[in-house]
A and B are shown apart, each in its own frame.
Chain A
Amino acid sequence: METETKKKRVTYLNVAHGVKSWLFTVDHKRIGLLYLVSITLMFMLGSFFAVLIRTELLTPAGDLMSSDNYNKMFTMHGIVMVFFFLIPSIPAVLGNFLIPLMIGAKDLAFPRINLLSWYIYVIGGCFTMWAVITGGIDTGWTFYTPYSTTASISKVLVPAIGVFITGFSSILTGLNFIVTIHRMRAPGLTWFRLPLFVWAHYATSVIMILGTPVVAVTILLVGLERGLGLGIFDPKLGGDPILFQHLFWFYSHPAVYIMILPSMGVISEIICCFSRKRIFGYGFVACSSMAIAMLGFLVWGHHMFVSTQSTYTALIFSVLSMAVAIPSAVKVFNWTATLYKGSISFEAPMMYVFGFLGLFTIGGLTGLFLASVGLDVHVHDTYFVVAHFHYIMVGGALMAYLGGIHFWWPKITGKMYAEWPARIAAVLVFLGFNLTFYPQFLLGYAGMPRRYHFYPEEFQILNVFSTAGATILGLGYIMPLCYLLWSLRHGKDAPANPWLATGLEWKVDSPPTPHNFESTPTVDEEAYNYPVTPAAEAQSV
């Protein structure tokens, strides 16, 4: 009888059927799922390029593809992964789905703009796919001048337009989040009762709105110089190529925080739940998100220490780059302190959190190497840099994304996934990731430059380790795809709050109804009021 009642319950998934009901939906939860499918496809495309790169690097000779094609492979891997996977991943999927639920709202402030942002993302993605199919681009994902303006004969403008267009999707998402968080919080949900996931997305949205227009304008300027011969970055025409790097990194360094701040929000939610403890130093963790967003805008010059940037400016950027480590460290210390004397359990999302803590710490500390003006000269443009940013972007952002997908999967789909395969996948991702990228620190420190497909023989053993690790990592990514899809048909029905977590999203059924809440909830307690006992949970749902 109970099962029949459950089957009849109207949820956001079964309220309407057919392709049209998805393509014209304005429900934030459905739009989150549209993004989930889109960015998963982009992740597969980016991974395909990564497989080709790592296969090429198995041997010292450039024997799988030509230098030109290798240039295109790492460029397209970077463009697809950065602009079409990492930047939208957590905000567009989990943020879209969860922010209204977490603040007790029925939807985001601008539901139609939310759908528009997805369409803009898809159009931008189509431009990039077009460039991939019709010959590719070889400038590196950074579009550095003069490669992108005068040197390259590949299709530069098409993916550049794709990135330009997708930027507007990011701006609209950020705008929607900021207005929603300001205007639509449930009664009693004061700023310092907000889940840290919401704080993290607020800080991310500020960066999206302030930074993205700058990269859009920069790409436009590249187009004007390449297409019309305007002298902006070309010294022969009175321009300055370093100006491009300033403008590009003014956005693209904060873009790293667009990737990592939402991840930090995810980590805060999961770590409290599976430690059964209130977060240590809520105010510090919340404010450190804002501090990272602000300081993150002041450090871009550390990408340019070996350019003709002045030594004076380099020193300023070096000091500021060290400073951004402080709020990042505040978070890591506070998460660790949260674990202290907690009742820790090792469910799959928590396994990803542990992976995040180790990998993000290594990524962050090696960032200090790169922020040091002198040391950076030695490791600049080597595999050390490649390893560093993969530890942040993949070891940090992607681990948290996977952790978040597992944590909220029961809420999103109404189904439980198989726990043990999920734990094994988390361990495989952690081991595979380290085997892939740790050797690259050694390679870079020993002097192997990035972006070459042939190298001296003495570097081969470490490259073989790296490619072997990438294979394990690939398996670790394929496994969740299999058991999560399996769970849709065969998984057990998820209760409203399978993890006994705090937060308004766990007070509604899994999956939620189309309008989330029957009546607007009232909040009368702090965030993370752990532990939640089964008896108390039964009363509150």
Chain B
Amino acid sequence: MDSHESSLKSYFLVFFALMALTALTVWVAFMDLGMMNNVVAMGIATIKGLMVMIVFMHLRHSPPLTILAIVVGIFWFAVLILITMSDMWTRGLLGFPGK
């Protein structure tokens, strides 16, 4: 019963935190932070995603195999982003037109 009440409390806490972070995202969107625009927006989104996974999706009470499955998903997503970005970052590195 205690754990149920505490989980309800944590659900509400996370819900209000998500609302606050959404408001923060909107507020930041109207500010020009230069190169940091995307970093801040993605940073807030990452924190929101983590909160959803850890609390709403019960990751903190999950067995290691479930956590491993999530970590693998995040790892392959990182592979997608990093290798794609490696293309963006290295275009023109060799000085060939179009490469």
Interface flags, B63-95, vs A, CB<8A=1, else 0: 001000000110010011001101110111110
User: Is B27 part of the binding interface, using a Cβ–Cβ cutoff of 8 Å?
Assistant: no
Task: Kindly state whether residue B96 has any CB partner on chain A within 8 Å.
Answer: yes
Q: Is B80's CB under 8 angstroms from A316's CB?
A: no
Residue B61 CB within 8 A of the other chain: no
Measured between C-beta atoms, what is the minimum distance from A78 to chain B in Å? 23
Name B65's contact: one of A182, A209, A247, A313 (CB within 8 Å).
A182
Q: Is the CB of A311 within 8 A of B72?
A: no
Q: State how many angstroms separate the Cβ of B78 from the closest Cβ of chain A.
A: 11
Cα A240 to Cα B94 with chains together (Å): 20
Rounded to whole angstroms, the CA-CA distance of A263 and B92 in the bound complex is 41
CB distance from A95 to the nearest CB of B (A): 20
A 286-301 to B, binary, CB cutoff 8 A, 1 in contact else 0:
0000000000011001
Q: Are A210 and B87 in contact (CB under 8 A)?
A: no
In angstroms, Cα B29 to Cα A469, docked, is: 60
Within 8 Å CB of B84, what residues of A? Answer: 243, 246-247, 250
- Give the CA-CA distance A246 to B84 in the complex, in Å: 6
Q: Measured between alpha carbons, how far is A184 from B87 in the docked complex, in Å?
A: 43
Report A-chain residues with C-beta under 8 Å of the C-beta of B73: 209-210
Name the residue of chain B whose CB is nearest to the CB of A254: B76
Q: In the complex, which residues of chain A have a beta carbon less than 8 angstroms from the beta carbon of B4?
A: none
Q: Does A313 lie within 8 Å of B87, measured CB to CB?
A: yes
* CB nearest to B73 among chain A residues: A210
A310 touches B80 (CB 8 A): no
Known contacts A210-B72, A250-B80; A308/B94 CB under 8 A: no
Q: Which residues of B contact A243 (CB under 8 A)?
A: 84
Q: Which residues does chain B contribute within 8 Å of A51, judged by CB atoms?
A: none
Given the interface pairs A250-B80, A298-B79, the reply to whether A312 lies near B72 with Cβ below 8 Å is no
Residues of chain A lying within 8 A (CB to CB) of residue B92: 310
- Answer whether residue A132 sits at the interface, using C-beta atoms and an 8 A cutoff: no
Residue of A182, A209, A297, A311 with most chain B CB atoms under a 10 A cut-off:
A311
Q: Flag if A312 contacts B79 (CB, 8 Å).
A: no
What residues on A are CB-neighbors of B80 within 8 Å? 214, 246-247, 250
Residue in B closest to A313 when the chains form the complex, CB atoms: B87
Contact A312 B83 (CB under 8 A): no
Please name the residue on chain B nearest to A317 by beta carbon: B83
Residues in chain B near residue A313, CB distance under 8 A: 83, 86-87, 90
A246 to B93, CA, bound (A): 19
Residue count of chain A within 8 Å CB distance of chain B:
21
**Prevailing SS type, chain A contact patch:** helix
Taking a contact as CB atoms under 8 Å apart, the answer to whether B99 and A310 are in contact is yes
Cα A312 to Cα B94 in complex, Å, equals 8
The interface residues of chain A lying within 8 Å CB-to-CB of B79 are: 297-298
Tell me if B94 and A311 are in contact (CB < 8 A): yes
Instruction: Convert A257-291 into 0s and 1s, putting 1 for each residue whose CB lies closer than 8 angstroms to a CB of B.
Output: 00000000000000000000000000000000000
Is B34 in the interface zone, CB < 8 Å from A? no
Number of interface residues of B (CB under 8 A): 19
C-alpha spacing A246/B82, complex, angstroms: 11
Q: Which one of A182, A210, A247, A316 contacts B86 once the chains associate, using CB atoms below 8 Å?
A: A316
Whether B72 and A301, one on each chain, are in contact in the complex, defined by CB atoms closer than 8 angstroms, is no
Q: Which residues on B sit within 8 Å (CB–CB) of A316?
A: 83, 86
Cα(A312)–Cα(B96), bound, Å = 11
Give Cα A316 to B93, complex, Å: 14
Residue on A nearest B92 in the bound complex, by CB: A310
Q: With A246-B84, A301-B83 known to touch, is A311 a contact of B76 (CB < 8 Å)? A: no
Bound complex: CA A514 to CA B65 (Å):
31
Among A169-211, those with CB < 8 Å from B are 182, 206, 209-210
Q: What's the Cα separation between A312 and B79 when bound, in Å?
A: 17
Residues in A with CB closer than 8 Å to B93 are 310-312
Q: Which residue of A has the minimal Cβ distance to B86?
A: A313
State the CA gap A246–B65 with chains docked (Å): 30
A67 within 8 A of B: no
B5-23 CB contacts (< 8 Å) to partner A: none
> For the complex, is A69 an interface residue (Cβ under 8 Å from B)?
no
Check if B76 sits within 8 Å of A309, measured CB to CB.
Answer: no
Q: B99 to chain A: which residues have CB within 8 Å?
A: 308, 310-311
- Tell whether A297 pairs with B76 under 8 Å between CB atoms, given A182-B65, A311-B93: yes
On chain B, the residues within 8 Å of A479 by CB distance are none
Distance between Cα atoms of A243 and B83 in the complex (Å): 11
B96, chain A: closest CB distance, angstroms: 7
The minimal Cβ–Cβ distance linking B55 to chain A, given in whole angstroms, is: 22
Considering only residues 44-86 of chain A, those with a C-beta below 8 Å from chain B are none
Task: Please name all residues of chain A whose beta carbon is closer than 8 Å to the beta carbon of B87 when the two chains form the complex.
Answer: 242, 246, 301, 309-310, 313
In Å, the complex CA distance between A311 and B98 comes to 10
CB < 8 Å neighbour of A308 from B65, B76, B91: B91
B86 engages A312 (CB within 8 Å): yes
Instruction: Return the CB mask of A211-246 against B: 1 if under 8 Å, else 0.
Output: 000100000000000000000000000001011001
Q: Pick from B65, B72, B83, B94: contact of A298, CB below 8 A.
A: B83
List of B residues within 8 angstroms of A297 by Cβ: 76, 79
Chain B contacts to A: CB under 8 angstroms? 65, 72-73, 76, 79-80, 83-84, 86-88, 90-94, 96, 98-99
15 contacts between A and B (CB under 8 A): A206-B72, A210-B76, A240-B88, A250-B80, A250-B84, A297-B79, A298-B79, A309-B91, A310-B90, A311-B90, A311-B96, A311-B99, A313-B83, A313-B90, A316-B86
A297-B76, A308-B99 known, 13 other contacts, Cβ within 8 Å: A182-B65, A206-B72, A246-B84, A298-B83, A301-B83, A310-B91, A310-B94, A311-B93, A311-B94, A311-B96, A312-B93, A313-B83, A313-B87
